[in-house]
Amino acid sequence: MIVVYTSPGCASCRKVKKWLKDHDLKFIEKNIFTTLLNETEITHLLQRSENGTEDIISKRSKIIQESKIDLDSMSITQLVDFVRKNPSVLKRPIILDEKNFQVGFDEEEIDAFIPDELRKLASNVCNKECPNWEGCQKVRN
């Protein structure tokens, strides 16, 4: 299942949700301000990010700049607690499923969330005579 961490007023979040709906992909939306993220969830996000805090935490966040917090000096427990108490430091949207992890809306990268079964189906069934040939091309690629 695809999970999308969002916030109100986030243009990239709206783009991701629209893209997922346009591609008939089911997803769970978690507004980071109305859904309290638990320790396990935050730890999971940190583990999935390739570059640790840099991938999912905005160092330009007002709270980080004003308090001059050094994320690199925090233990994992301190970091998780900090994010739990200050969800606004998270970059958004964060999109993940069992295999994929993406931060922000990237039109080329988001195709990774199309299930393998649909990719195979599109490449096997769709040909140039198909009225959806142009639309399916993204899936085929």
Catalytic residues: 10
How far apart (Å, rounded) are the C-alpha atoms in residues 94 and 129? 37
Residue 5 DSSP SS3: strand
Tokens 């922000």 locate to: 104
Taking the CA atoms of the chain, what radius of gyration do you get in angstroms? 18
Bridge partners of 29, per DSSP, are 4
The amino acid at residue 85 is: K
Q: How many CA atoms lie within 13 A of 67 on its CB side?
A: 11
How far apart (Å, rounded) are the C-alpha atoms in residues 100 and 57? 18
Helix pair angle (133-140, 116-125), 10° resolution: 130
